[in-house]
Amino acid sequence: EPEVTQTPSHQVTQMGQEVILRCVPISNHLYFYWYRQILGQKVEFLVSFYNNEISEKSEIFDDQFSVERPDGSNFTLKIRSTKLEDSAMYFCASRIRAWSTDTQYFGPGTRLTVL
């Protein structure tokens, strides 16, 4: 069964460093998402992406964040200058269409630890 994959599973970085989290969505899916979950808190929407551009972004997704689909298969989230409060699980999700009845499938997540 096709699945969303994410690398790395765990990323440790120093505050102020840049990180890139990578995702490979399910191959025929067209809509892509990043969510994050700070330990003990709810899953929060960061950004949605369709047709090579951002569809919607949350207040969390400030100028330090960017997304890219560089090669038609990978979907990346870049954090330019990490802060301690960026420590969280980051989940990529994809969806075949934007119909309300279509499920978003989640990847296994990347645990980002900022020291």
Partner 1 sequence: QKEVEQNSGPLSVPEGAIASLNCTYSDRGSQSFFWYRQYSGKSPELIMSIYSNGDKEDGRFTAQLNKASQYVSLLIRDSQPSDSATYLCAVIEVNFGNEKLTFGTGTRLTIIP
Q: Which residues in 14-43 contact partner 1 (CB under 8 A)? A: 33, 35, 41-43
CA nearest 63: which of 81, 45, 48, 51? 81
Tell me how far, at minimum, the Cβ of 98 lies from partner 1, in Å. Answer: 6
CA nearest 49: which of 62, 58, 59, 60? 58
Does 103 participate in binding partner 1 (rule CB under 8 A)? yes
Indicate the SS3 state at residue 45. Answer: strand
Binding partner 1 by CB under 8 A: which of 79, 94, 107, 112?
107
Residue keyed to tokens 């919607």: 56
Q: Which residues in 42-71 contact partner 1 (CB under 8 A)? A: 42-45, 48, 55-56
Tell me how far, at minimum, the Cβ of 43 lies from partner 1, in Å. Answer: 4
Of 22-30, 62-70, 76-84, 101-109, the window that binds partner 1 (rule: CB under 8 A) is 101-109
Does 113 participate in binding partner 1 (rule CB under 8 A)? no
Does 101 participate in binding partner 1 (rule CB under 8 A)? yes
**Residue 99: exposure state from Cβ atoms within 10 A (0-12, 13-18, ≥19):** exposed
Tell me how far, at minimum, the Cβ of 50 lies from partner 1, in Å. Answer: 8
Residues contacting 100, CB < 8 A, separation 6+: none
